[in-house]
Amino acid sequence: MRAWAVVECGKPLQELEWATPEPQGEEVLLEVTHAGVCHSDLHIWEGIYDLGSRGQMKLTDRGVVLPLAMGHEIVGRVLKCGPAAEGKVQVGKTYAVFPWVGCGKCAVCLAEEENMCLTPRSLGVYQNGGYATHVLATRWSHLVDIEGVDPALAATYACSGITVYSAINKLLPMDPNEPIVLVGAGGLGLNAIAILKALGHKRIVSVDVAQDKLDAALAQGATDVVLASKEGTTQRIIAAAGGQVAGVIDLVNGTETSRFAFDALRKGGKLVQVGLFGGEMTIPLPLMPIRALTVQGSYVGNVKELRELVAIAREGKIPGIPVALEPFRNADAVLNRLREGKITGRVVLTAS
């Protein structure tokens, strides 16, 4: 098999030849047909996370070992099943692969909430992922039937999709005319708009620093947009929403975005933090109880949520987001474009 791997953090990906793995137990070997390029890949590639005054968390602090084929938004064709997976999935059929693998033995894993496992083994992070010709799914139950859904779009659901779906579920139920604010109009933001619309939500306020991405948010179905800047963003959010808001999902989650998102909350409001941009947040503590506010982190999603989301997509209810295809050999160039903010929607790597 071939892989386009991180060999040294921040350096160009290298095309490597590896032995094709043989599936054991419940494992399934797939030929990768599509692999989304996610903003989280930038943090893995660069090897650091900004923790504000606490310094930086290095890739090695998370137990990541190089070389690594990144890629956790994976669609592939089943080639071979391990003995315990025989007959569970169809050889030759194309599936989305749930990447947020845990130990498989603890209580959260047995409840199919592996993204919360304390010993994660996620594809594209702790074990090789989709930037390769082949990938080894840890167990057959991680494969989700995407029949009827564009496979390039379905690949984005394994991270971008379930990440925002899980975050949205932390706000809903809510009156559909109550504004929900989405900070960030990249791939996550556009998928969040699409999923909110599929769930029947009416008021969606998108916030971003780039006008072209706000234009894409409007085209996707946002009802209001706010151009973020160093000053006055909170006031513009409140003006667009017609008052302070009940819910904000921060898909960027940097020092500045956390501040204006928190300040836009009304009494009883909730800020759901998703992004990994980095920095730190300073909160005036008396306001938390006085205004009954909630700040909650949301980490990707679980396989149950992926199944639910794909089921909604298979019913044709989720509008597609802009997806551009690039061959695997261009993975490094795509990462650089993503880092420079030059991508609208999602880029998906493909073998063809």
| pLDDT above 90 (res 59) | no
- pLDDT bin (cut points 50, 70, 90) of residue 58 is confident
> What average pLDDT score do residues 32-58 get?
92
For residue 263, the model assigns a pLDDT of 98
Q: What percent of the chain has pLDDT over 70?
A: 100
> What average pLDDT score do residues 279-303 get?
97
Domain assignments of the chain as residue spans, ordered by start: 2-159+301-350, 171-297
| pLDDT above 90 (res 169) | yes
For residue 62, the model assigns a pLDDT of 82
For residue 63, the model assigns a pLDDT of 86
> What average pLDDT score do residues 311-318 get?
97
Q: What is the mean pLDDT of the chain?
A: 96
> Quick check: do 2-159+301-350 and 171-297 share a fold?
no
pTM: 0.96
> What average pLDDT score do residues 31-38 get?
97
> What average pLDDT score do residues 128-133 get?
98
pLDDT, tens only, 251-270: 999 999 999 999 999 999 99
> What average pLDDT score do residues 24-39 get?
97
pLDDT, tens only, 171-204: 999 999 999 999 999 999 999 999 999 999 999 9
HEC profile for the chain? Answer: CEEEEECCCCCCCEEEECCCCCCCCCCEEEEEEEEEECHHHHHHHHCEEECHHHCEEEHHHHCCCCCECCCCEEEEEEEEECHHHCCCCCCCCEEEECCCCCCCCCHHHHCCCHHHCCCCCCECCCECCCCECEEEECCHHHEEECCCCCHHHHHHHHHHHHHHHHHHHCCCCCCCCCCEEEECCCHHHHHHHHHHHHCCCCCEEEEECCHHHHHHHHHHCCCEEEECCCCCHHHHHHHHHCCCEEEEEECCCEHHHHHHHHHCEEEEEEEEECCCCECCCCCCCCHHHHCCCEEEECCCCCHHHHHHHHHHHHCCCCCCCCEEEEEHHHHHHHHHHHHCCCCCCEEEEECC
> What average pLDDT score do residues 132-146 get?
98
2-159+301-350 belongs to which CATH class? alpha beta
> What average pLDDT score do residues 132-137 get?
98
| pLDDT above 90 (res 109) | yes
User: Which of 54-58, 331-335, 340-344 has the highest average model confidence (pLDDT)?
Assistant: 331-335
171-297 belongs to which CATH class? alpha beta
Q: What percent of the chain has pLDDT over 90?
A: 95
| pLDDT above 80 (res 352) | no
- pLDDT bin (cut points 50, 70, 90) of residue 271 is very high
